[in-house]
Amino acid sequence: MSEQHPKSTDGLMRYLRNKKGIAISGSSQKRKLMNIGYYHGYKGYRYINTPSNKVPYTKFEELVSIYDFDTQLKSLFYPYVMLIETALKNYVLDILVTTTNSESFTVIYNQLLDNYKMFSTTGKTYKNAYARKKAEDKFKYELKRRLNLRNRIYKIQTNAYGNGNKIADHYLRKDINLPIWATFELLSLGEFGHFVSCLNQNCRIAISKKLGIRPTDDTDAMMPQRLIYTIKDLRNAIAHNDVVFDTRFQTGEINKQVGHAISNVTGINHLTFRTITDYLILVIYQLKLLHVSKSEMKRIISRFEYIVEKLRSNIPINIFHQIIYTDNRSKIILLKKFVSK
């Protein structure tokens, strides 16, 4: 049977045995494979990080253990990344409404979404034509981002109305613009990050201060948007039931200032976000900013430790250390100290 041809469950089991050297047989394992599906049963877990790094499975139970680990991670993180998303939007919303005394997107757009102005070349002198051209390009780039944000928000509102969204229907049917809180309900986390990045520096400083980010860790007032972009990929992977255990969900490089800021307050170094342990640290850092209770954060860490130890006992150690790095224990110890402060 060609690998390119569709396979029945029995055919897939033969394929795993004969072509991949994975011991799988019996009605119990057949049901498990059917329950988790082909993608989650094999395709999604046949490698770690990159397709070239194939996992040398010898037993179907090893594959199932990684699948279970991945599922448990998503169950652990889901309510907290959703809490973080909701809270961040509400913190920003409070700053916007308090500053402008308005919930109108138009007012906020005109008064606060004008970060491009800080790059204006008007009245400035430059040492040469290249420096001026570079500054002008930056101004145009930031202005275009602002215009794209406005267009994107109007498109989102239009699509929401066309798809029968109740909030959009309530306002737009009456020819009333959506208030900013309603607009935030429609924005994805990535779009929300774009929104925050277009806010002027004074507004971003106010958001950073409200979140309790140390000024020395956010000298350019860009940490809120960096945290949004960093948590975004994990949130989206969980929401779409994608694989998370090996952090393959990352869509781009994470700004190094995020790791530096977290290291400065937790004492945890070498945060590369190449392992799920670092994302646990990211989540706990943000939950502490949001004043989630110590007992709740300790429960999250304890649950993470439990599912990690369960994985350790069920797969070969050489595979385990490709998923959970050898510095996991030292990082968890420091994370517990951070939570207890």
In a domain, 35, yes or no: no
- Is 253 part of any domain? yes
- What pLDDT score was predicted for residue 43? 83
| pLDDT, average across residues 40-63 | 89
CA distance linking residue 167 with residue 244, whole number of Å? 32
* Residue 39 belongs to a domain: no
pLDDT at 6 exceeding the cut of 60:
no
Amino acid at 321: H
Residues 6+ apart with CB under 8 A from 283: 77, 80, 81, 84, 231, 234, 300
Closest by CA position to 285, among listed 253, 259, 313? 259
Share the mean pLDDT of the chain: 94
Is 146 or 9 the better-scoring residue by pLDDT? 146
Q: Which pLDDT value is given to residue 306?
A: 98
The residue range of the domain holding 214 is 60-340
**Torsion, Cα of 18, 21, 23, 28 (10° steps):** -60
Q: Does the residue 17 lie in any domain?
A: no
Indicate the number of domains in the chain: 1
- The long-range contacts involving 266-272, CB below 8 angstroms and separated by at least 24 positions, are 266/334, 266/335, 266/338, 267/334, 267/337, 267/338, 268/331, 268/334, 268/335, 268/338, 270/327
Domain presence at residue 331: yes
pLDDT by residue (tens digit) across 136-180? 999 999 999 999 999 999 999 999 999 999 999 999 988 888 999
Inside any domain, residue 19: no
Lookup: tokens for 23: 């011991």
pLDDT at 115 over 50: yes
6 found inside a domain: no
Which of left, alpha, beta for 242 (phi over 0: left; psi -120 to 50: alpha)?
beta
What mean pLDDT is predicted for residues 1-7?
53
Q: Binning pLDDT at 50, 70 and 90, where does residue 40 land?
A: low
Q: What number is the average pLDDT over the span 56-67?
A: 94
> Is residue 46 in a domain?
no
